[in-house]
Amino acid sequence: MRIFDLKRVVAVLCCVPIAAFAADGEAIMLKGAANPTALPCITCHGADGKGTPSAGFPRLAGHPAEYLAKQLRDFKAGTRQNPIMQPIATALTDEEIDEVARAYSARPRVNVTPSKARLVEGTGAWLAMRGAWSRNIPECILCHGPDGVGVGGVFPPIAGQSAMYLESQLRAWKGVAASTGKTGKVKAVAPTRRNDPNGLMQHIARDLTDAEIKLVSEYFESLGESSEPFNESQHRLR
């Protein structure tokens, strides 16, 4: 064997153990991470990453990697509290977080149905597209993009997520009202999601009524998974 070949063989052999331990996003989805507390993501987020809408488990497929990785780090840091996801995120290494986020972002994004809703004040479509500026509530599409398709790595897609999931997040930012046992008094419970830059979502969620939270969540759910291929030009601001 020439010395040149020997060098190559040594180089290849050296890389084998590294490759075996390197985080692999697809493998984490299917089989879980090195730490078994991080269960296979497909158990809850679905084989295709589209989530389990009936259980309120969100879609991850096609979301920006930057957004997904941030959420996993926020669960880990406790600025986003959830009894299911916090132990899972905590069990992931930094490298595993980046790899699994990248793998989900490479999946097809939601094929949003262009909205054909008539704009009638007080409906979910109105809130989404016009907001309620008399109460300082901007329209959702201002940040989440036309029809809620998402913008860049910071503003996630909200179209096509289940209404159950969207509502749960708006309530997590708002904080819920809970009865305090015998006295029957209602007291506000602190928000469990406090991870939004500049409190952008916290301000909005706080000012939405419970009825508005329901309406706007149902509206964005209704725009999910069109049978047409995703076409950015169909989703213009109006």
> Would you state the structure tokens that stand for residue 210, as one six-digit string?
């419970």
Assess 60 for contact with ligand HEC (CB under 6 A). Answer: yes
- Our CB check for ligand HEC shows the closer of 45 and 174 to be 45
For the CB of residue 45, give the shortest distance to ligand HEC in the complex, in Å.
6
DSSP state of 109: P
Which of 23, 61, 65, 88 binds ligand HEC (CB under 6 A)? It is 88
Q: Are 148 and 220 in contact (CB under 8 A)?
A: yes
DSSP one-letter string for 188-218: EPPPSB--SGGGHHHHHHHHS-HHHHHHHHH
- Which contiguous run of DSSP H or E holds residue 215? helix 210-222
C-beta closer to ligand HEC: residue 114 or 199: 199
- How far does CA 49 lie from the centroid of its chain? 11
Give CA–CA dist 218/213, Å, rounded. Answer: 9
Q: Which amino acid is at 54?
A: S
Sketch the per residue contact string, 186 through 225, with ligand HEC: x for CB under 6 A, - otherwise: ---------xxx--xx--x-----------x---------
Q: Which is nearer to ligand HEC, 54 or 183 (CB)?
A: 54
* Site for ligand HEC, residues 17 to 56, rule: CB under 6 A: 28, 33, 38-39, 41, 43-45
Rounded Cα distance, 225 and 3, in Å: 58
Residues of this chain that interact with ligand HEC (CB under 6 A) are 28, 33, 38-39, 41, 43-45, 57-58, 60, 68, 70-72, 80, 82, 84-85, 88, 100, 127, 137-138, 140, 142-144, 154-156, 158, 166, 168-170, 195-197, 200-201, 204, 216
